[in-house]
Amino acid sequence: MGYRTLLREHRPLLSIAFLAMFSSSLGQSFFIGLFQAPISEHLGLSVGQFGTGYAVVTLASGFLMLHFGPKIDWISPRRFAMTVLLLLAGGIALLTLSPWWWLGILGLGLVRLCGQGMLTHLGNTLAAREFTQLRGRAMGLVSLGIPLGEAALPPLVAVTLVWLAWQQFWWLFALTIALPWAWLLIKAPWPNAPGAKPTQRDTKGPHPFRERNFWQLLPLLMSLPITMTGLFIYQAQLTDALDSSLTVYALALTGMGIAKLPGALLGGRWVDKLGPVRLARLYLFPYALAMVIALLVGGHVSVWALMVGGGLAMGAQELVASGLLIKLWGAEHLGRVRSALSASMVFSTGIAPAVLGGLLGAGVTFEVILAGMLAFIIAGWLLAQPVLRVAKATSE
């Protein structure tokens, strides 16, 4: 069964998951970054104060994911989506209308939690849990919602803000995505609640942070988002070290967005044919090769290699992660385990810029940092091998 058949036979469910991924753009860093200056001015915050507030609400959203994310394992997906969307709307209202900075920051926190956190969690979990034989292809299609937002929204914002205030754009965008959500919530057939709510003392389900397999797998799955965050945040130092330019970097970002498409679609097909374990051993290779090119060659080609290699790997990242989590802990516990992984991602990508900034401040060259990133990827790959052998031997 190919992508066309999948779309024809499962369009409602795929539409729900895809719209969840696209709607998550409201809470993604790239989207909020487009409005950093007007938001700071509206709330009366300096750039440093906005950055501190952003870091605090991001880390707080990671903790809240641990509490609210697992609920998708026993709450009806329709009810889960309605709750998240209502909280997201409340966050947008606080962020755009509040005259007090602390309420605005609270709104930003709700937007981050419900956008980047819970809507992404909803889309990935539905696609991974509700499909069995075609899970890879389904997740590949659904995951395209995020690069679509990354590609379409920045130029749309740049054009629209000529006529609209930033608050009006937020309201217009929220209303635009609310219309298809309303139709899907009323008309679409939603899956039932997957299981019963566990008791307070329930010990049958997995406890990822207490399990060695989870900790051994974590570096492999975190190496890409951690290192890419460093390349995004310190792009000026990266281009200077590689003897390139920010103009080339900006163009290469477009290449990264385009590379996510084959990464997701081909990755989905390969997950179905090869399984997530084999793909887990291969999907970081383009990115690791790009690191080697950057260290040995330098120049504009290295910036392009890092962005395109990173884009290919990023397109397959969620397919690999969800497939491995289901192999190891079962689809019925996917919400709980994905919440632990998502929270770990939030914490690590929040701390990584501070660590890299400290290294740069201490005089460590970016070439040494790139070598350290490559070593981190290799170490994560080696550490995960015993867990991947367990996953290979485990039936779904």
Tell me: the pLDDT tens digits for 34-58? Answer: 788 888 899 998 877 887 888 888 8
Reference 322, options 285, 259, 280; nearest CA is: 280
Q: List % helix, strand, coil for the chain (3-state, nearest 5).
A: 85, 0, 15
Q: How far apart are CA 341 and CA 134, in angstroms?
A: 23
Question: Which residue type is seen at 143?
Answer: S
- CB 119, CB 89: distance < 8 Å: no
Question: Which tokens go with 126?
Answer: 């539905």
- pLDDT at residue 187 tops 70: yes
- Full-model pTM: 0.82
> In this prediction, what percent of the chain has a pLDDT beyond 90?
38
Asked if domains 1-191 and 210-396 share a fold, the reply is yes
* Alpha-carbon dihedral sign for residues 308, 313, 317, 319: positive
End-to-end CA distance of the chain: 20
Task: Write the DSSP string, 127-148.
Answer: HHHH-STTHHHHHHHHHTHHHH
> What confidence tier does 106 reach under pLDDT thresholds 50, 70, 90?
very high
- pLDDT at residue 352 tops 80: no
Average confidence (pLDDT) over 319-347: 84
**pLDDT top residue among 23 and 352:** 23
Q: What is the pLDDT of residue 204?
A: 64
- pLDDT at residue 203 tops 70: no
Q: What is the pLDDT of residue 83?
A: 95
> What confidence tier does 396 reach under pLDDT thresholds 50, 70, 90?
very low
> What confidence tier does 202 reach under pLDDT thresholds 50, 70, 90?
low
Average confidence (pLDDT) over 118-139: 86
Reference 158, options 149, 169, 147, 171; nearest CA is: 169
Any idea which architecture 1-191 has in CATH? Up-down Bundle (1.20)
- CB 31, CB 153: distance < 8 Å: yes
Average confidence (pLDDT) over 230-240: 84
> What confidence tier does 159 reach under pLDDT thresholds 50, 70, 90?
confident
Average pLDDT over the chain reads 87
Give the least confident one: 12-21, 248-257, 277-286, 302-311: 248-257
Q: Tell me which CATH homologous superfamily contains domain 210-396.
A: MFS general substrate transporter like domains (1.20.1250.20)
What are the residue ranges spanned by the domains of the chain? 1-191, 210-396
**Cα 279 to the chain's mean position, in Å?**
19
Contacts of residue 114, Cβ cutoff 8 Å, sequence gap at least 6: 27, 84, 85, 87, 88, 91
- pLDDT at residue 137 tops 60: yes
- CB 170, CB 301: distance < 8 Å: no
According to DSSP, residue 196 is labeled: P
**pLDDT top residue among 129 and 173:** 173
According to DSSP, residue 211 is labeled: -
